[in-house]
A = this chain, B = another copy of it.
Amino acid sequence: MTDPATKTVKAPRKTAAKPASGARKLVKAAQTVGDGGPVDNFPKGRRAQASEARKAAILKAALAVFARQGLDGASLEAIAQAAGISKANLLYYHPSKEALYVAVLEQGLSLWLAPLSRFTDGDDPADAIAALIGAKLAMSRDHPEVSRLFALEMLRGAPLLKPVLSGPLKAVFDAKVAVVQAWIDAGKLGKVDPPHLIFSIWALTQHYADFAVQVRALAGKSLSDKAFMDETQSALTALVLDGVRPR
């Protein structure tokens, strides 16, 4: 603060579009995926509790709205209303719409990455693959909005997520590719293309969240239907493991 003028200016109405790189924050969040974040379990006062509940409510409401309407389509007013607070209050917790969006993305990131992280080398590749399919499908059932949010972000060209994709995610991805390759080398798996296998499992499972409307229109069911969930899981697992050709 050597310039005395800056003291009074106080940012003259958002000049130009700031770099606004919430991307950095997302990369950090992706790296600390397993640890569940800061624990801070010391005794909370009523106020702190209420505040935390509100913050959670805001993120939940924002996720719901963003996942349906997209970043541009969502209005702060709509999110605030869904969270049961005023728009001004919403902006008290998150300085801007994009910051809120980043916070939502950040929160979803761990859920998003968890299944692949748990995909580890084991005796039976078939079991590991089945487990991965199960985990991702459960994710599509229990948190379809998260899946949709990420799909939306990809469709935009992932301006905020790209650093995560080519950074932390690529690291995990490469590791899992190696795992699959090891299975193939050991003769435990047919000669498949490891990267494509992972893409395939993602595509197959996320489809049921992202294209849920279509699935519902054509099959008449959704994953929230227990029978349909089971049926889908077996169908996908069978497809990936054995394909469709008669044996």
Contact = CB atoms under 8 A, between A and B. Distances in A.
Contacts of A244: 125, 129, 189-190, 192, 197, 240-241
A72 B72 CA distance: 6
Interface string A201-236: 011101110111111011100000000000110111
A143 B210 CA distance: 20
A118 interface: no
Interface in A21-71: 67-71
Copies in the complex: 2
Interface in A150-165: 151-152, 154-158, 161-162, 165
Interface residues of A, number: 66
Contact of A246 (B169, B189, B240): B189
Contacts of A161: 213
A155 B151 contact: yes
Nearest to A189: B244
A151 B155 CA distance: 8
B156 A231 contact: no
